[in-house]
């Protein structure tokens, strides 16, 4: 295990996170923010299909099952896939703050191998907020929510405006998302992006 870098340590004048009054209730399934998101979308057959639930305070829990499509070494999850699961879970925290934010930095510790067929149980929480910066931490366990730690991460998310996606995304996908007749799906596509 390595020490967290200075970039992921909240400054002394950072404030505790505050759950937005319109945040999903504890226990509520958050759902996919975008159908084609590799982490949470149902439109990605080889994606993680990660499901996150709101927790108490500014926390979430999530689960994802490692499939043969997620292998690195034979029979084991690819480290990049595990980092993606952590990133997706950490990004889900932004639903509770009701902000649009993107990953600025992610540091991951790989503690033990995660075999194919394993359900990875993830927990994440926002630890501090400083201006546009959101500091958070997550852990992934195998064998159940109280099982041994397999992966952990510390992250820095940065609040952005929706223009971040519109100006930088591929025009075909941006237009398709903006043209969706379902107003809720249209808004969610740009609301939170890990």
Q: What is the mean pLDDT of each run of 10 residues along the chain (194 residues)?
A: 79 96 95 87 92 97 96 97 97 94 96 98 98 98 97 96 68 72 65 52
28 vs 102: CA distance, rounded Å: 22
H helix runs in the chain, sequence order: 79-92, 94-97, 163-168, 171-178, 183-191
Residue 187 is predicted with a pLDDT of 64
DSSP-assigned beta bridge partners for residue 158: 102, 133
> Angle at Cα 64 formed by Cα 99 and Cα 181, nearest 5°?
50
Give 158's Cβ-side CA count (13 Å radius): 8
pTM here is 0.88
Q: Which of 25, 52, 53 is nearest to 37 (CA)?
A: 52
Which residue, chain included where needed, has tokens 């480290």?
79
183-191 vs 171-178: helix axis angle to the nearest 10?
Answer: 140
116 vs 78: CA distance, rounded Å: 10
Q: Which of 172, 171, 165 is nearest to 192 (CA)?
A: 165
Residue 170 is predicted with a pLDDT of 74
Residue 194 is predicted with a pLDDT of 44
């Amino acid at each position: 295990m390595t020490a967290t870098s200075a970039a992921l340590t909240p400054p002394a004048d950072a404030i505790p996170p505050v759950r937005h009054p319109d945040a999903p209730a504890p226990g509520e399934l958050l759902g996919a923010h975008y159908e084609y998101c590799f982490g949470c979308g149902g439109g990605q057959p080889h994606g993680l299909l990660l499901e996150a639930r709101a927790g108490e305070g500014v926390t979430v829990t999530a689960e994802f099952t490692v499939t043969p499509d997620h292998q690195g070494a034979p029979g084991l999850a690819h480290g990049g896939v595990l980092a993606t699961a952590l990133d997706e879970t950490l990004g889900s925290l932004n639903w509770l703050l009701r902000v649009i934010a993107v990953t600025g930095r992610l540091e991951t510790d790989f503690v033990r191998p995660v075999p194919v067929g394993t359900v990875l149980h993830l927990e994440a929480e926002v630890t501090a907020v400083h201006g546009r910066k959101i500091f958070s931490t997550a852990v992934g366990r195998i064998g159940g929510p109280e099982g041994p730690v397999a992966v952990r991460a510390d992250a820095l998310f940065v609040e952005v405006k929706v223009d971040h996606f519109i100006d930088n995304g591929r025009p075909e996908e941006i237009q398709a998302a903006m043209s969706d007749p379902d107003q809720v799906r249209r808004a969610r596509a740009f609301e939170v992006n890990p």
